[in-house]
Amino acid sequence: MVSRKIILRFGEETSGKPIIYHLVKDFDLIVNIIKARINPAKEGTMVLEITGKNYDRGIAFLNEQNIKVQMLDEHVVHNKESCTSCGVCTTACPTGALYLKRPEMQVVFDSSKCIVCQQCVKVCPVKAMEVCFD
Amino acid sequence: MSISRTYDEINEKIKSGKVVVVTAEEVVSIVKDKGIKKATQEIDVVTTGTFGPMCSSGAFLNFGHSNPRIRMSKVWLNDVPAYTGIAAVDAYIGATEPKEGDPLNTNHPGKFSYGGGHVIEDLVRRKPVLLRAYSYGTDCYPRKEIKTTITLDSINEAFLFNPRNAYQNYNCAVNLSNKTIYTYMGMLKPNLENAHYSTSGQLSPLLKDPYFMTIGIGTRIFLGGGIGYVAWHGTQHFPSMLKDNKGQELHPSGGTIAVIGDLKQMDARYIRGCSFLGYGCTMAVGIGVPIPILNEEVMEWAAKSDEELFAPVVDYSDEYPNFNSKGLGVVSYAELKKGEIEVLGKRVKTAPLSSYPMAVEIASKLKEWIKLGKFELTKPVQKLPNANDGIVVNFLDDKGKK
Ligand code: SF4
Ligand code: SF4
């Protein structure tokens, strides 16, 4: 199932509409509101995590409502200064993005293979793997 | 004729800059090329190294007296409780103590983001640390409360005293159950999906002097980037012979050392607070021990390679917690480092918990110190009990067990 983080930007005319309700009710999506802010001029931004089969239809609906949808590029960074090359993340990583370079046993991060599942972020004992957003 | 040299002879060579030092990794190929005899003739010292999570670590601190004086009875450092039942302004901060109010494992697996090991790392990084203390007040120590910040330089003494470090050898942990488990050996996936091990193998200090022929009380060591000493044998020092499934004797295993050293000399590169998902907090410690090549026998052990050193495979879903032996056998460090081992007929992916590159770095650093004349070797004032001393392991008798 698709699960993505998106940023919605809407103006005064759309900020009053029950869009979350529609996403849930009409498209059967799981919506997790990460952040929401509406300014006094009734313009707002909202960061959502949307999960569900009808993800694409939900996004199309938002576009129809004149809401600007922007993908949140979430990625994981490897802090080399902090990493001790202990290696414990390498069996947690499902894609081989984190691997041991042999024979030195140095831990290497290949971001092109990373699917941002964040397993490494959870298991790294010294918090050398971090989630970043652009 | 057999070769022998003394500590004094080695130290003379260190002073004159003529000492020959190699790391415990380098010595393996040298001995393979030249043979034990020639290598023993040429090499004076072999340096070992290890860097990994080491529970049973902590630091004694003396904060200095406040005015008016306080006799602390409860102390927190950055909200992590420290033990102060020693003296008025003395405390011991243990590496595995979580921050007060940590949700622990209530939302399993807990994160254990900050604990005693992190406090020690922050002190070493010269970061300010919040000190809070309470007292019941006495005539000589009237103050009942204090809240202030300290740094490593603002307090009197700070020394690391780790009651059990540098395990001679350690289990290779697997999970035979059908659910993920969260252990001090990391996250172990169900049905033998991964295997975690935790020593530096051929660089590991106590594996390279398995009978404690040279490592003893008073041995000067690299500790956390500074100079430390072996203070005693470690707690749970149970040296015994490791055997394979057929009962074949391999090498001694199970020894530990208690170490002491000035925290003010240490470097946060080698002292790191750690959080193990679903398990708790601890601290990674860097230790390097020099092995003086006194004779060929010492060299024979110091030259053992990853192919000749073994770890027992232990199931952490049942065997470890409940003492139900599964007889999973042993694997060599060479196999473990290749990335895959075989357990019960299944190929299992391996990962270390202790950093091999850091172990190399520590052994190399210690080698440099010795070569530059900054570090002389000490003869132990007393030997540690070894695998031939028949140490008996005691278990806790919980009489109320249902
Ligand atoms: S986020 Fe997932 S895929 Fe990416 S490196 Fe971490 S464990 Fe591997
Ligand atoms: S678990 Fe963390 S410290 Fe260990 S190798 Fe992976 S990123 Fe580095």
- Confidence band of A16 (pLDDT split at 50, 70, 90): confident
Contacts of B282 in chain A (CB under 8 A): 125
Record the pTM.
0.89
pLDDT at A38 over 90: no
Kind of pairing between the strands at B220-223 and B80-87: unpaired
Point out the residue among B51, B189, B349 whose CB comes nearest to the CB of A84: B51
**Separation CA A35–CA A41 (nearest Å):** 18
C-beta atoms surrounding A65 within 10 Å:
15
Ligand 2 center–CA B23 separation, angstroms: 25
Dihedral (CA of B325, B326, B327, B333) sign: negative
pLDDT in tens, A85-122: 999 999 999 999 999 999 999 999 999 999 888 999 99
Q: What is the pLDDT of residue B1?
A: 59
The protein residue with its alpha carbon nearest to ligand 2, atom 1, reads: A124
Residue type, B120: I
What residues line ligand 1, using a CB cutoff of 6 Å? A 76, 92-95, 97-98, 114-120, 129
CA distances from B263 to B54, B147, B224 (A): 16, 23, 8
Q: What is the pLDDT of residue A5?
A: 82
Total residues found in chain A within this entry: 134
Q: How many Å separate Cα B364 from the centre of its chain?
A: 18
pLDDT tens, N- to C-terminus, chain B (402 residues): 588 999 999 999 999 999 999 999 999 999 999 999 999 999 999 999 999 999 899 999 999 999 999 999 999 999 999 999 999 999 999 999 999 999 999 999 999 999 999 999 999 999 999 999 999 999 999 999 999 999 999 999 999 999 999 999 999 999 999 999 999 999 999 999 999 999 999 999 999 999 999 999 999 999 999 999 999 999 999 999 999 989 999 999 999 999 999 999 999 999 999 999 999 999 999 999 999 999 999 999 999 999 999 999 999 999 999 999 998 999 999 999 999 999 999 999 999 999 999 999 999 999 999 999 999 999 999 999 999 999 999 999 888 766
Sheet of strand A44-51, all strands in order from the earlier edge strand to the far edge: A30-38, A44-51, A3-10, A68-71
Is B194 in Cβ contact with A100 (below 8 Å)?
A: no
What does residue B91 show for φ and ψ, rounded to 5 degrees?
-150, 160
Alpha helices in chain A (DSSP H): 12-15, 19-27, 55-64, 119-123
Is B354 in Cβ contact with A86 (below 8 Å)?
A: yes
Buried b (16+ CB within 10 A) or exposed e, A117-128: eebbbbbbbbeb
Q: What mean pLDDT, rounded, does chain A reach?
A: 90
- Atom index in ligand 1 nearest the CA of residue A89 equals 7
Residues 6+ apart with CB under 8 A from B106: none
Which ligand is nearest the CA of A119, by number? 1
What is B206-246 written as a DSSP string?
GGSSTT-SS-EET-EEEETTEEEEEEEEPTT---EEEE-TT
The protein residue with its alpha carbon nearest to ligand 2, atom 3, reads: A83
Is A92 in Cβ contact with B356 (below 8 Å)?
A: no
pLDDT at A41 over 90: no
Q: What is the pLDDT of residue B402?
A: 60
Assigned token pair, A69: 């949808």
Ligand 1 center–CA B133 separation, angstroms: 42
User: Nearest chain B Cα to A126, which residue?
Assistant: B274
- Domains detected in chain A: 2-71 (3.30.70.260), 74-133 (3.30.70.20)
Q: What is the CA radius of gyration of chain A?
A: 19
Bridge partners (DSSP) of residue A107 are A100
Is B189 in Cβ contact with A125 (below 8 Å)?
A: no
Assigned token pair, B262: 């000035």
Bridge partners (DSSP) of residue B272 are B284
Which ligand is nearest the CA of A124, by number? 2
What does residue A93 show for φ and ψ, rounded to 5 degrees?
-75, 120
Which ligand is nearest the CA of A120, by number? 1
Higher pLDDT, A33 or B131: B131
Assigned token pair, B362: 């520590």
Total residues found in chain B within this entry: 402
Point out the residue among A86, A92, A122 whose CB comes nearest to the CB of B352: A86
pLDDT at A2 over 80: no
- B281 in active site: no
**Chain B residues within 8 angstroms (CB to CB) of chain A:** 51-53, 111, 186-187, 189, 193-196, 272-277, 282, 284, 337-339, 349-358
Instruction: Assign 3-class secondary structure to B87-139.
Output: ECCEEEEECCCECCCCCCCCCCCCCCCCEHHHHHHHHHCCCCEEEEEECCCCC
Contacts of B194 in chain A (CB under 8 A): 91
Is A123 in Cβ contact with B277 (below 8 Å)?
A: yes
Domain ranges of chain B: 7-54+160-383
